[in-house]
């Protein structure tokens, strides 16, 4: 309701300032003639830029290889918690699965208010990822120090807590917006 009031106030403030004049006679014809002179219309089949198709195909193939680790065998090595023990590898897998699930839920929101919250959450997630990368370095230097392992687990928990908090906030905002919309319809 407040947003509609703002729009109405804007139109009242700008009343009489809108350009409502018609274009001079023959303007459209002159414009089209000038446009055709600069970029003549092709008659017949449209030209296909084969290099665009080939480059897109090459990009997809390269991306597929990168994701499978063919170009980077070091990516297949275990890192982070997974390098400590098989149990820690399972723990890391559990947290990664939970985080990815929450990220999918977070990215499913479409409203403008949600987009702003999602962007802020992604910045915080990026900071947590940078902290985790530093913890991986610390873990390698410390020789699997339990304090570093605990900090890594806390980092994963912080990510999940952040995502769950943002999701619940967005759901609350959307619920309030929906109830306001329902009340205005009644």
Task: Kindly list the domain boundaries of the chain, sorted by start residue.
Answer: 48-77, 81-186
Contact status, residue 1 vs residue 180, Cβ threshold 8 Å: yes
User: 147-177 b/e with 16+ CB inside 10 Å = b?
Assistant: ebbebbbebbeebeebbeebbeebeeeeeee
Q: Are 48 and 105 in contact (CB under 8 A)?
A: no
Q: Say what the pLDDT of residue 164 is.
A: 93
Q: Which tens digit of pLDDT belongs to each residue from 135-183?
A: 999 988 888 889 988 999 999 999 999 999 999 998 888 888 877 765 5
Residue 4 host element (H or E):
helix 2-13
What pLDDT was estimated at residue 49?
A: 62
- The residue with greater pLDDT, 57 or 84, is 84
Cα–Cα distance measured from residue 25 to residue 20, given in angstroms and rounded to the nearest whole number? 15
- The pLDDT of residue 76 is 42
Query: Average of pLDDT values for 24-46?
Result: 69
Whole-number Å distance between alpha carbons of 157 and 151:
10
Q: Would you say residue 37 has pLDDT above 80?
A: no
At 100-138, the pLDDT tens digits run: 999 888 888 888 878 888 888 899 999 999 999 999 999
Q: How sure is the predictor about 185, in pLDDT bands with cuts at 50, 70 and 90? A: low
Out of 8-17, 56-65, 98-107, which region has the weakest mean confidence (pLDDT)? 56-65
* Residue 175, token pair as written in the block: 């619920």
Q: Choose among 84, 89, 98, 79: nearest CA to 157.
A: 98
User: Burial level of 116, CB count in 10 A (0-12/13-18/19+)?
Assistant: exposed
What pTM does this model have?
0.55
User: Beta-carbon neighbour count of residue 103 at 10 Å?
Assistant: 17
Cα-Cα-Cα-Cα dihedral sign, residues 10, 15, 18, 22: positive
């Amino acid at each position: 309701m407040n947003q509609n009031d703002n729009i109405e106030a804007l139109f009242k403030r700008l009343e009489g300032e809108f350009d409502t004049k018609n274009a001079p006679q023959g303007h459209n014809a002159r414009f089209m003639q000038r446009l055709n002179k600069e970029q003549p219309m092709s008659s017949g089949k449209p030209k296909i830029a084969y290099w665009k198709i080939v480059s897109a195909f090459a990009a997809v193939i390269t991306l597929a290889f990168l994701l499978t680790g063919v170009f980077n065998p070091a990516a297949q090595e275990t890192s982070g918690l997974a390098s400590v023990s098989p149990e820690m590898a399972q723990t890391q897998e559990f947290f990664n699965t939970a985080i990815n699930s929450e990220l999918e839920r977070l990215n499913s929101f479409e409203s403008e208010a949600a987009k702003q919250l999602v962007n802020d959450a992604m910045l915080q997630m990026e900071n947590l990822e940078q902290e985790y990368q530093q913890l991986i370095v610390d873990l390698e230097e410390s020789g699997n120090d339990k304090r570093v392992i605990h900090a890594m687990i806390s980092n994963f928990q912080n990510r999940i807590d952040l995502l769950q908090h943002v999701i619940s906030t967005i759901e609350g905002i959307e619920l309030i917006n929906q109830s306001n919309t329902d009340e205005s319809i009644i």
